[in-house]
Amino acid sequence: MKFFVDTADTAEIKELAATGLLDGVTTNPSLIMKAGRPMKEVIAEICDLVDGPVSAEVVAMEKDAMLAEARELTAIANNICIKLPLTLEGLKACRVLSDQGTQTNVTLCFSANQALLAAKAGATFISPFIGRLDDIHIDGLDLISDIRQIYDNYMFETEILAASIRTANHVKDCALLGADVATIPPATLKALVKHPLTEKGLESFMADWAKTGQSII
Ligand code: G3P
């Protein structure tokens, strides 16, 4: 499973990239707003920090305007992935970009039919939003499972990028269901390593090691 980080905070991305566990980055207009910096400057900096796909989202509503924005964004770096909304105009733009060999991430997916359309439009990634479905009492994980089955039935190559992840359990459950990628907020990604028994065990190993009076080097 690939791990993307869902943020436009370059300090966080730098720290996580140094772990060697990061396969890409996703951003959206809200995350750019939170970063408080010019979009193209932030995206360029992120593309320098990670080799994998960096999703940059268009904000136009109509296909040709989306494609014009996509041209601006793809000029920033080779690893730009164009994020498009799950609308008919977004799918039309997705088809054009896919045919040109540009990576695409179709976002704001809340149904299996929407995911089917994105795969037919040649999307590189489909982003089902788990947390926002959970927020309205619909099980977001059921959507991941449905999309996995549909994509496997027809051997679609579109990768399932589980988004709107809120908890460490979301990551584990998406991995169990066969999502190809999880895009995870920095704090949740860092929390994955933590287990109280690991901390307790390490503490006791270190205390016993100190008693031996030895050193390895
Ligand atoms: O980047 C899209 C998605 O991950 C947003 O998550 O927490 O705003 O629903 P959230």
Q: Hey, where are the domains in the chain?
A: 2-212
Which of 155, 124, 147, 142 has the alpha carbon at shortest distance from 4?
Answer: 124
Beta strands in the chain (DSSP E): 2-6, 24-26, 54-57, 80-85, 103-109, 125-128, 159-162, 181-184
- pLDDT, position 140: 98
pTM: 0.96
8-41 pLDDT per residue, tens: 999 999 999 999 999 999 999 999 999 999 999 9
Mutate to test the pocket of ligand 1, among 3, 129, 161, 181 (most ligand atoms within 8 A of CB): 129
92-113 burial, b if ≥16 CB within 10 A, otherwise e? Answer: bbbebbbeeebbbbbbbbbebe
- pLDDT, position 104: 98
The rounded radius of gyration (Å) of the Cα atoms in the chain is 19
Beta strands in 110-180 (DSSP E): 125-128, 159-162
Active site residue 83: yes
- pLDDT, position 162: 98
Per-residue pLDDT averaged across 56-65, rounded?
98
- What's the CATH number of domain 2-212, 3.40.190.10, 3.40.50.970, 3.20.20.150, 3.20.20.70? 3.20.20.70
Q: Which residues line ligand 1 (CB under 6 A)?
A: 6, 26, 28, 129, 131-132, 163-164, 183
